[in-house]
Amino acid sequence: MKEMYPKNGRVILHVDMNSFYASVEMAYDPTLKGKPLAIAGNVEERRGIIVTCSYEARKFGVKTTMPLWEAKKLCPELIVKTPNFERYRAASIGMFEILRNYTELVEPVSIDEGYMDISECYEFGSPIGIAESIQKRILEQLDLPCSIGIAPNKFLAKMASDMKKPMGITVLRKRDIPIVLWPLNTNEMHGVGKKTAEKLTVMGINTIGDLAKGNEIQLKSLLGINGIRIKERANGIDNRQVDPESVADFKSIGNSTTLPKDAGNQQELFRVLESLAETVSVRLKRKNVLANTLGITIRFKDRKTITRSKKLANSVNHKEDITAIAKQLFLKHWNGDSVRLLGITGYDLVEHDLAYKQLDLFSFEKDAKQEPLIKTLSNLREKYGKNIIENAGTKKVDPDHNVGTDTSFNKDFLRSFPNSNKEE
């Protein structure tokens, strides 16, 4: 079988579960199979948004992120289930366990998709044979469908897995790029969002082929380093390795909520911000990190959405600090109109032990009083290890706590995902 593999290149699979939450519910309750099914939030409130839906529901025009009332208007027979995250967690763990039967080089990127490097997996057969085996085992053991892309790198594997759903297997080679990828619009390219596609259109770049031939100086001027990166992707260049440890990486932690009804009362909106700040604080402490930048999201009743952020002099993860900064940002950018959604996000995260505090006129006296204690703790950690004493505020919270209400369930799930090479 070795001759079926490239001598110098890699073989990467991208395994993508099809309509994952809906499929898990169908596996749990087979009477739902073949019926229009949607997973959504609180059915009684406007915040009910479609999280995912079955392919039967999609035939009626039901889509992810669509308001529930609109989905029911399109499909009166739509069956709606609220999310069961523990059920999805169990199914995801089962899926990744199957993938690790073939190689330890498995990189989960969300609860329902992951990359595999099978470049050295000759004993399991050809790359297509391995993909067929994985797809069959996931279906037989978990009763879940998936699509798989096979390619020489992660970008092409991801693009390939999206080409045939459900239950598809697609091979995408570099020589296929001009025929298969280049005719597609840029908004169909992985890594190019709606806003980026609109910016590219202004430059006269409408297709992936246009992007592949784009002027690097103009792209970098428009999009920064990302402009060069997406041009490389458009040409099939992607040197990223499949990294089983990358699930430990995260760039931001946030929480948002859609209000039950539009609100224009400042005190009521402040209470929402306080609640969001508490959630974000808990999650930052759970990860043992602090935020160097804090941002807020405001969606007004006319659906206009703004995001504003502030670079902080001192890293934060306490509720009181987050609340104060969020309120300042809100008052600065709120135009007085009724608000539909509020969100708070911490960016530029740094591990607690690496965070530092800039002394200023307001904090100097307080910090000076704490200096003897800080010095003592530092000496103890240096002598006995950094975990000998933990601040109460940095005590890690059970990662399973309140997982059902966490808006970033995917990332929390991945952070607590058991590595195959570690004993649990």
User: What is the rounded (10 degree) CA torsion for 117, 118, 120, 125?
Assistant: 180
Within 8 A by CB and 6+ apart from 236, the residues are 152, 153, 155, 156, 174, 177, 181
Burial of 370: CB neighbours in 10 Å, binned 0-12, 13-18, 19+:
exposed
Q: Quote the DSSP letter at residue 418.
A: P
- Bridge partners of 38? 53, 80
**Is the bond into 399 cis (omega within 30 degrees of 0)?**
no
From the candidates 25, 56, 107, 113, give the one annotated as an active-site residue. 113
**Cβ neighbours of 12 (radius 10 Å):** 28
120 annotated active-site: no
Which bin fits 320, alpha (ψ -120 to 50), beta or left (φ > 0)? alpha
Residue 243 annotated as binding site: no
First to last CA, the chain: 35
- Bridge partners of 200? none
DSSP 309-332: EEEEEEEE-SHHHHHHHHHHHHHH
Residue 16 annotated as binding site: yes
- Quick one: the chain helix, strand, coil %, rounded to 5? 45, 20, 35
User: What count of residues does the chain have?
Assistant: 424
**Using CA atoms, how far apart are residues 396 and 382, in angstroms rounded to an integer?**
21
Q: Which residue positions form the known binding site for Mg(2+)?
A: 16, 112
Q: Which residues are tagged catalytic?
A: 113
